[in-house]
Every structure is written in structure tokens, then in C-alpha cells.
Amino acid sequence: MLGDGAYPRYEGGVFRPPSEAGSLILQVMYGCSYNRCAFCGMYRDRRFRIRPFAEVKEDVENLDPAVKRSTARVFLADGDALALPARSMLCILGLLKAELPGLERVGAYANAHSLLRHTDEELREIHDHGLEMLYIGLESGDDETLARTGKGATSAQIIEACRKAKRAGFALSLTAILGLGGVERSLEHARATGRAFSAIDPDYIAMLSLMLVPGTPLAEAAEQGGFVVPGPTAILRELREIIAETDVTNAVFRTTHASNYLALEGTLPEDKEAMLAALDWILANGNVIPLRPEWLRRL
């Protein structure tokens, strides 16, 4: 159900990147255009559909005047705003510009297929009209891991889509999931993920650690013994390998998400050697540094 009359209204649970905590969340679509990743339970409670522009317009125009004046950032929900046709996205961005005088940035989730469907010209126009930040789930650079977890795209396709977005001017924030390759492909997953980050050269990199969501295919596979989640030490080894393999121009690198066992934050390549040294020391000295306990981990 949509909200109780307050604007903007929202249907279902709200999902947004941690960095968008202070943003106005504007729902322009319901659910995810793909919604078949084996590890993800975010939008399994809703059918994908594009929200009518008239409803979006009503939400924005009926915002409290104080909210309009104070809003600097907007996040377009739900799971893949670039699934909208370019013309629809331009109408939404024009509406935001007209109604929010202090608007500085608009962000959204995007997936590889939606980016690849848009032409270079469409992406440049969308960017130039105010959508500046895209959050993209790489998840893994290992094609076998991507296939096993139902990502629906190869690493080459994701790299191509991200490069296309960069050419259009977008800032890119990428996520990958430690442990997603399981015990079987732990290091292959990690090293290939670092190589994919290098090929994309994003502005931000955020690591999550796998948490099985009840009811998802990956959780069911784990229950049946077909998938084994790496333990905390193996997860830290993956993190070390990802950092070692990542060669980027200038990217903020974080493992501060609540799903992670260890919080690291720095800039690559500037802090690469320091982060590697810290991980090597922790791996060599066992439990000297307390890791986040399981009961404190959150998605």
C-alpha cells in the first residue's frame, strides 16, 4: 500500500544505499526489473511495474514547502530506475529541478542490462538533466559465481555497462559481496572481483559480506548442502585478495556496511598498502582483533 497521505508516498519496504540516508526517497518504479538474483530478497514481495508519472508528479508537487526548500539530494527508488524509458526519466528530472530549488544531486540504482539498453546519447542527456550518481551491484567479477547466483549478466557485460555510464559522466558506486562464491570458489571470486573493479575504475567501492536471506534460492541451496558460506577468516582472505587485485585511479573503498566482520575505510590506491598490511596482520594473529559477531551483522 502507498503511504498514509504524507508525501512522498511509498509502497513496500524502503531500500536505499547507506550514503543516501539523508536523501528524499522518491519511488518512480515498484520492485526490480530483474529480481531473480539467488541471494537477494529485497523486492520479492512486489511485482515490477513503472509508477505512473502522474503519481510521481503529485508526490513531488505536494511535498511540504519546508521539505522542498531543504532537499539537496533525491534517491530514485526502487531497484533499477534506469529501466524507465529515457523520456520518462527526463520528465522526472525536470520535475525535480522545477520543484526543489536546493537540489544538488539525484542518485539511483542501475543494472547492466538497463544501462546497455539506453543509447550513449540518452545516458548523456539523463546525466546532464541531473541524475549524477549510479549505484551498481557488480557482486562478483567471476563469471561462474555470477552464473551460479543468477545475476543474469557476465562480468564483461557489467564492465561494458559501467564504462558506458562513465563515458556519459555518471559517478559510479559499485558493490560486491564477500563470500558469494562459496567455499568452492572463494579466491577465484575475490581475485576476479578485484580485476573487474580495475577494469571499471569506479569512484566508490563498497563491500558487503554474504548473509543468507530466508526464502531465497541461495539460502535453500545452503540448507540442502549445495552451497557453503565461507567463514569469517576466509571472508577476510577474500577481502585481502580483492584489495590486492584492485588497481584504480581514485576510489573510496569501504567495508563499513553492517554485514561485514571488519570495518575498513580508505582511498585506493593511496591506502592500499596500509589496508593490505592491516589484513595480513589480522590474518596472521588470529582473534587478536575482535570481529563483528554474527548477532550484530545486518543487511
Cell numbers describing residue 229: 558460506
Q: Please report the pLDDT score of residue 6 as a whole number.
A: 83
Contact assessment for residue 184 and residue 214, using Cβ atoms and an 8 Å cutoff: no
Partner residues linked to 110 by β-bridges: 136
Q: How far is CA 148 from the centre of its chain?
A: 19
Task: Write b or e for each residue in 185-211: b if 16 or more Cβ atoms lie within 10 A of its Cβ, otherwise e.
Answer: bbebbbbbbbbbbbbbbbbbbbbbbbb
Contact assessment for residue 180 and residue 139, using Cβ atoms and an 8 Å cutoff: yes
Partner residues linked to 137 by β-bridges: 175
3-state helix, strand, coil in the chain (%, to 5): 40, 15, 40
Pairing of strands 29-30, 49-50: antiparallel
Ramachandran angles phi, psi of 183, nearest 5°: -60, -35
Cell numbers describing residue 104: 544538488
Ramachandran angles phi, psi of 137, nearest 5°: -90, 100
Contact assessment for residue 16 and residue 25, using Cβ atoms and an 8 Å cutoff: yes
Q: Please report the pLDDT score of residue 287 as a whole number.
A: 67
Q: Which amino acid is at 76?
A: L
Neighbours of 167 (CB within 10 A): 12
- Tens place of pLDDT per residue across the chain (299 aa): 344 458 899 998 899 999 999 999 999 999 999 999 999 999 988 889 999 999 999 999 999 999 999 999 999 999 999 999 999 999 999 999 999 999 999 999 999 999 999 999 999 999 999 999 999 999 999 999 999 999 999 999 999 999 999 999 999 999 999 999 999 999 999 999 999 999 999 999 999 999 999 999 999 999 999 999 999 999 999 999 999 999 999 999 999 999 999 999 999 999 999 999 999 999 999 767 789 999 999 98
Partner residues linked to 76 by β-bridges: 26, 108
For cell 531473480, name the residue. Answer: 36
In order of 44, 59, 79, 157, the CA distances from 32 in angstroms are 9, 21, 5, 19
Contact assessment for residue 26 and residue 8, using Cβ atoms and an 8 Å cutoff: yes
What is the topology classification, in CATH, of domain 18-287? TIM Barrel (3.20.20)
Contact assessment for residue 56 and residue 11, using Cβ atoms and an 8 Å cutoff: no
- Give dist(CA 209, CA 183) in Å, integer: 13
Contact assessment for residue 243 and residue 276, using Cβ atoms and an 8 Å cutoff: yes
Partner residues linked to 108 by β-bridges: 76, 134
For cell 539523508, name the residue. Answer: 22
Q: Please report the pLDDT score of residue 44 as a whole number.
A: 87
Q: Please report the pLDDT score of residue 286 as a whole number.
A: 78
Partner residues linked to 133 by β-bridges: 107, 171
Q: Which amino acid is at 296?
A: L
